[in-house]
Amino acid sequence: MYTKEIEITLSRLAKDLLARHAKQQLLNNPEETMEALQRVIIYNDWRYYVQSDPVLSDYEYDQLFAWLKQLEKENPHLVSPDSPTQKVAQGLAAASPGATKATRGAAKAFPSVPHLVPMLSLDNSYNADDLIDWDRKARELSGLSEIEYCIEPKFDGASISLLYEDDKLVRGLTRGDGVVGEDITQNVMQIKFIPPAAKFSKYGVHTIEIRGEVLINKDTFKAFNDQRAAENLPPLANPRNAASGSLRIIDPKEVAKRGLEAFLYHMSYHVMEKGVTEPKEITTHSNTLDLFTELGFRSPSKEKRVVKGIQAVIDYCNAFEHERDNLPYEIDGMVIKVNDLCAAG
């Protein structure tokens, strides 16, 4: 278990590592630095995924994770099989030394179910040079001289995966550890813009797994915290924590009271009906967003932008940065995807 003293020590170590990273200054040697980074990252994974109460910003976490990857690349003989970089999933809720009785109780209440396709993390970029290099690699892999991209906000909420078969919602999962999620089907059915049935069959789709983000908008979050203050309860730290915690409430009726919303933004898996070819509505990422909206989901079909070439991507991201504070919900960046799903695959 992470005692209070251990948590304080790891928080201080994280601050020290961040300061050293800015100067590219190791501890005594690469091995000691890598071990320290692993400890801090594993602890922060636990805070983020199990406690829903992160102590590092996404930017700080990404910097430490990238530094660990860099050191492992430079020192392959020092790479540990237990390193966070070597695992897609670590079974955080089950394996964490800090798992509490409440956490275990929730795990029993919500059965664990594998995703049809793993919910992997996105690569991160904080400057134009990274995007230009990524575009170069994408063009080399696809053989295209110029790529069409779809850009949309990166919603700051709790990730979910929905499975529809024969037009009916049959399962809703949390992200979990990326490979296995918790079955919260009854809870997601309480969320706005998640229809219990959608006419995917109109387009010849028999089975489809779609990904999204559950959110609490800024006004709802403020009202919720005002109510907690009136009841002498501590406020929740941010809308993401509020959304994540709400999804794991045992009673669906209580979930319905939280004012949760959801954006659906990605088709991760689909099976066509026998003898039916794929329609244009699911051949590009942009078209799938429009399809989701048509079928009653809330998707970023209005917020998206389709452009050609990486410079147009950079220009749009810079322009959108000035609008993010005016949005009714929190975002933590932009997501850039190759629009042609055949080229992306």
Task: Please report, for the domain that includes residue 303, its CATH number.
Answer: 3.30.470.30
Cβ count near 258 (within 10 Å)? 21
| Separation between Cα atoms, residue 23 and residue 279, nearest integer Å | 52
Q: Is residue 118 part of a domain?
A: no
> Catalytic residue at 154?
yes
Q: Is residue 35 part of a domain?
A: yes
Same domain, 167 and 249: yes
Q: Is residue 336 part of a domain?
A: yes
- The answer to whether 130 touches 147, Cβ cutoff 8 Å, is no
Strands across the sheet with 148-155, in order?
305-308, 148-155, 331-338
Q: Is residue 116 part of a domain?
A: no
Helix, strand, or coil here: 127? coil
Same domain, 98 and 133: no
Last residue of a domain, one of 43, 76, 106: 106
Residue 308 CA to chain centroid, in angstroms? 25
Task: Give CA angle at 137 (131, 138), nearest 5°.
Answer: 85
Q: Is residue 112 part of a domain?
A: no
Determine the structural domain holding residue 185 and report its residue range: 128-344
> Which pLDDT score is estimated for 106?
41
Same domain, 243 and 328: yes
**Max Cα distance, the chain (Å):** 63
Residue whose C-alpha is closest to residue 335's, from 115, 119, 56, 125: 125
Same domain, 302 and 224: yes
Same domain, 85 and 14: yes
Active-site residue (options: 4, 101, 108, 154): 154
Same domain, 249 and 337: yes
DSSP 203-265: GTEEEEEEEEEEE--HHHHHHHHHHHHHTT-PPPS-HHHHHHHHHT-S-HHHHHTT--EEEEE
Same domain, 150 and 100: no
Which residue's structure tokens are 């999962």? 173
| Separation between Cα atoms, residue 262 and residue 240, nearest integer Å | 12
Total number of domains in the chain: 2
Same domain, 187 and 147: yes
Same domain, 222 and 290: yes
Same domain, 150 and 89: no
| Separation between Cα atoms, residue 122 and residue 37, nearest integer Å | 20
- The answer to whether 151 touches 305, Cβ cutoff 8 Å, is yes
Same domain, 133 and 241: yes
- The answer to whether 53 touches 240, Cβ cutoff 8 Å, is no
Q: Which residues of 290-317 are buried (b: 16+ CB within 10 A; e: fewer)?
A: ebbbebebbbbbebbbbbeebebbbebb
Structure tokens at 319: 């322009």
Q: Is residue 114 part of a domain?
A: no
| Separation between Cα atoms, residue 170 and residue 183, nearest integer Å | 10
> Which pLDDT score is estimated for 51?
62
- The answer to whether 265 touches 336, Cβ cutoff 8 Å, is no
Last residue of a domain, one of 76, 106, 136: 106
Q: Is residue 123 part of a domain?
A: no
Q: Is residue 115 part of a domain?
A: no
- Residue by residue, pLDDT tens for the chain (345 residues) are 578 888 889 999 999 999 999 888 999 899 999 999 999 998 887 777 656 667 887 778 888 989 999 999 999 999 887 788 875 433 333 333 333 333 333 444 688 999 999 987 777 777 889 899 999 999 998 899 999 999 999 998 999 999 999 999 999 999 988 899 999 999 999 987 798 999 999 999 999 999 999 999 999 999 988 988 998 888 887 888 888 888 988 888 888 888 899 999 999 999 999 999 999 999 999 999 999 999 999 999 988 999 999 999 999 998 888 888 888 888 888 999 999 988 665
Last residue of a domain, one of 106, 138, 159: 106
Going along the chain, which residue ranges are E strands? Answer: 112-114, 148-155, 158-165, 168-174, 180-182, 205-215, 261-272, 305-308, 331-338
Same domain, 195 and 248: yes
> Which pLDDT score is estimated for 50?
58
- The answer to whether 195 touches 297, Cβ cutoff 8 Å, is yes
39: CATH: 1.10.287.610
> Which pLDDT score is estimated for 94?
35
Pairing assessment for the beta strands 331-338 and 305-308 based on DSSP bridges = unpaired
> Which pLDDT score is estimated for 320?
86
Say whether pTM exceeds 0.85.
no
| Separation between Cα atoms, residue 48 and residue 7, nearest integer Å | 14
| Separation between Cα atoms, residue 74 and residue 78, nearest integer Å | 9
